Amino acid sequence: MTEELAKGLDGILVAESELSSVDGQIGELIYRGFSIEDLAKHASYEEVVYLLWYGSLPTEAELEHFSGQLAEARRLHPDVLLTLESLADADEDPMAALRTGVSMLSAYDSEASYTTGDIEASRKKGIRILGKLPTIIAAFQAYREGREPVEPDPSRSFAGDFLRMLSGEEGTPLARETFDMALILHADHGFNASTFTSIVIGSTMADLYASVTGGIGALSGPLHGGANQEVMRMFRDIEDSDRGPIEWVNEMQERGERIPGFGHRVYKVKDPRANILEAKAAALAEEGSEDRYIGYAQEIESHLTEMGLVEKGIAPNVDFYSGVVYDQLGIPFDLYTPIFALSRTGGWIGHVIEYQEDNRLIRPRARYIGPTEADFAPIDQR
């Protein structure tokens, strides 16, 4: 009897996890029992990472200690900065630069490999990795702009200091709050491709740097991490054209093209994270940020909903509004996916730690469909 083939592992259960749950039928996302709406409204990114790694929300004292550790870990070794400067000079892709920078961090961590499997040591290592990601991205961008990186300030929040290091400016309270919320929304999302990649690497008991580097590599693919850039590319093309948003997407549909930011492998209704980001984009517009792209997004969503796309299970996902928000915050277009990685690293590390507590090497099989009776010929007879 031929075994059923599950291409892409669709519907295959490979592990159990307490970190996050996605119900695509009703549009629900929870982290360890807490709704994404409650966490986005009331928590900080540091609190959410603590929740994912330790299993509960921190007390005030625990949060202060954890946030302080993350903040103190932001500073980069001079050699890493030199490498980032070289990559910027070579016009390297930002995700590739991030991947290289994270991989290089292990050279300056005396506990990079030999503590694998020790949960508390892995958490400490995770702090050293996650804490440095904002600085890597901001420093790379500074070098691309021909200026020296802004030094990290451990007295500031994770989200707030990143925005300051990236632009050299404080940013408004709403901007810092919005970016912190965006990090929360992207922190975890079940066994997606990059999370599963990190877990597969972790299942070999490789060090945490390898798992995070692998996650970044998986996220760099356009089918996973680059969708918000495709949305913004569409909006910019609309802006540069002589056609309105509705006419533009109608023409895309007539050509049989997929509308960027619509549809999801899991969600059959509107992504709950999209609702939250849409509201923040509107709030930023009211405060004075650019509002043309939020207008495009809402007009297209309304039109496609009226056309029955949502009824068919093709609804706006988080990427439909995340790029709009990043644009309003003044974040460069090609840093959207590195920021996704910055946020999702909290989830990757949490999953690797959880999986290694009851580790089993992940080793699936493939069905062989090649020849079975090939005759070998010596090289002089081929």
What is the mean pLDDT, run by run of 10 residues, along the chain of 382 residues?
79 92 93 97 98 98 98 97 98 97 94 73 95 98 97 97 94 95 97 96 94 97 84 92 92 91 85 94 88 90 87 86 93 94 98 94 92 94 94
The CATH code of the domain at 37-221+335-357 is: 1.10.580.10
The pLDDT of residue 353 is 95
State the catalytic residue, choosing from 23, 109, 224, 303.
224
State the catalytic residue, choosing from 186, 189, 264, 351.
264
The pLDDT of residue 116 is 63
HSE, side-chain direction, 13 A CA sphere, residue 219: 33
The yes-or-no answer on residue 264 being catalytic is yes
State the catalytic residue, choosing from 180, 207, 319, 327.
319
The pLDDT of residue 292 is 83
CB of 294 closer than 8 Å to CB of 261: no
> Phi and psi dihedrals of 20, rounded to 5?
-150, 155
* Domain span(s) for CATH 1.10.580.10 in the chain: 37-221+335-357
The yes-or-no answer on residue 89 being catalytic is no
The CATH code of the domain at 227-328 is: 1.10.230.10
CB of 355 closer than 8 Å to CB of 199: yes
* Domain span(s) for CATH 1.10.230.10 in the chain: 227-328
- The conformational region for residue 261 under phi > 0 = left, psi -120 to 50 = alpha, else beta, is left
